[in-house]
């Protein structure tokens, strides 16, 4: 998958691209079927909400689940990022983020690169997120909020919030969010399962709690340019990966093929 010149210009202007229904219903169902399997795991990679029960996010699912490993090597996910960064990429982080019906908590306003830079020693903002909706995302079940153009601010001053949710985050204060939103406005991309989002590591974003009766699960790949790999190993390696092997993509129909495997992850396969 290659982005058109107009799409590249839009990304540079707004900091994100949205592709509604980019993966088929059949492809999405392959992944959706694995969400309860991953969330049932009792391992440190699965972070739960403050109630200690409700899944909040599952890190590094590409290392222990074959379907999610295939998604991590899918050309529709990897090639647009590779194109924008101009070089091969590795998996910096992989998350299956859930906003469970009624109990899914807020993600405060933040920039992902702010955390990658402060906590992981990532040198430059040459990394970004590409994500797939596994459920319909609507105005009720905790959609992502973006401030278009906020990526052009670079790294914004942030405080380390250790108390609001079960997961620590470098967050922006209300005054800064108000200032940015007064210039760029707010958008909340919504769409059916299989929709794909691509957004810059410095784009300011967050999401409200899910008070609706509908789950909202989104899978995020955080891909980083090989030349920009992290230099600090402060966080667990399942959160900030220390394996800088370039991602080798699979066939475009890999999610629907039983004869194609995503595991072992390419670096493990090479070592073996």
Task: Please report which confidence band the pLDDT of residue 271 belongs to, taking 50, 70 and 90 as the band edges.
Answer: very low
Which of 259, 255, 198 has its CA nearest to residue 29? 255
Which of 17, 248, 213, 48 has its CA nearest to residue 128? 17
The DSSP bridge partners found for residue 58 are: 46, 96
User: Minimum mean pLDDT among 79-83, 153-157, 182-186, 243-247: which range?
Assistant: 153-157
Q: Which residues constitute the domain of residue 206?
A: 5-271
Number of domains in the chain: 1
Task: Please report which confidence band the pLDDT of residue 49 belongs to, taking 50, 70 and 90 as the band edges.
Answer: confident
57 pLDDT higher than 80: yes
DSSP H or E segment with residue 107: strand 107-110
User: Minimum mean pLDDT among 156-160, 171-175, 243-247: which range?
Assistant: 156-160
Task: Please report which confidence band the pLDDT of residue 45 belongs to, taking 50, 70 and 90 as the band edges.
Answer: very high
State residue 55's pLDDT score: 87
Q: What is the pLDDT of residues 113-170, one digit of tens each?
A: 999 999 999 999 999 999 999 999 999 999 999 999 999 998 988 777 666 665 667 7
272 pLDDT higher than 50: no
More confident residue, 206 or 171: 206
Residue 259: CB atoms within 10 A of its CB come to 5
Which of 82, 83, 80, 63 has its CA nearest to residue 72? 63
Tell me whether strands 196-200 and 16-19 are parallel, antiparallel or unpaired.
Answer: antiparallel
Q: For the CA atoms of 222, 26, 257, 96, what is the dihedral angle to 10 degrees?
A: 30
* Burial 123-136, CB ≥16 within 10 A → b, else e: eebbbbbbbbbbbe
Task: Give the chain's mean pLDDT.
Answer: 92
Indicate which CATH number applies to the domain containing 19: 2.60.120.620
Which of 79, 40, 168 has its CA nearest to residue 115? 168
What angle (nearest 5°) sits at the alpha carbon of residue 66, between those of residues 63 and 71?
Answer: 85
107 pLDDT higher than 90: no
Q: Residue length, the chain?
A: 272
Pairwise CA distance, residues 164 & 182, whole Å = 25
Mean pLDDT of the region 263-271? 68
267 pLDDT higher than 70: no
User: Minimum mean pLDDT among 25-34, 94-103, 142-151: which range?
Assistant: 94-103
Task: Tell the residue number behind the tokens 């093929």, with chain if given.
Answer: 257
Task: Tell the residue number behind the tokens 């050309």, with chain if given.
Answer: 75
Task: Please report which confidence band the pLDDT of residue 268 belongs to, taking 50, 70 and 90 as the band edges.
Answer: low
Mean pLDDT of the region 225-229? 97
Pairwise CA distance, residues 223 & 55, whole Å = 23
State residue 262's pLDDT score: 94
Handedness of CA 262, 23, 113, 172 (dihedral sign): negative
């Amino acid at each position: 998958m290659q982005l058109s010149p107009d799409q590249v210009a839009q990304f540079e202007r707004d900091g994100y691209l949205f592709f509604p229904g980019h993966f088929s219903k059949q492809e999405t169902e392959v992944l959706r079927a694995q969400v309860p399997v991953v969330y049932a795991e009792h391992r440190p990679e699965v972070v739960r909400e403050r109630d200690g029960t409700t899944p909040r996010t599952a890190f590094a699912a590409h290392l222990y689940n074959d379907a999610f490993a295939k998604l991590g090597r899918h050309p529709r996910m990897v090639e647009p990022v590779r194109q924008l960064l101009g070089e091969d990429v590795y998996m910096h982080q992989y998350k299956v983020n859930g906003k469970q019906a009624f109990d899914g908590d807020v993600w405060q306003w933040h920039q992902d690169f702010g955390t990658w830079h402060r906590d992981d020693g990532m040198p430059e903002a040459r990394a970004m997120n590409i994500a797939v909706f596994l459920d319909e995302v609507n105005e009720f079940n905790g959609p992502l909020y973006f401030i278009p153009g906020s990526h052009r601010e670079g790294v914004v001053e942030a405080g380390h919030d250790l108390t609001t949710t079960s997961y620590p985050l470098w967050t922006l204060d209300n005054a800064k969010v108000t200032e940015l939103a007064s210039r760029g406005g707010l958008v909340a991309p919504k769409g059916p399962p299989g929709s794909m989002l691509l957004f810059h590591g410095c784009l300011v974003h967050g999401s409200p709690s899910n008070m609706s009766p509908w789950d909202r699960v989104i899978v995020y790949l955080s891909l980083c340019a090989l030349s920009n790999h992290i230099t600090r190993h402060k966080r667990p390696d399942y959160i900030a990966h220390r394996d800088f092997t370039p991602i080798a993509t699979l066939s475009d129909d890999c999610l629907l093929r039983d004869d194609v495997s995503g595991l072992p992850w390419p670096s493990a396969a090479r070592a073996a």
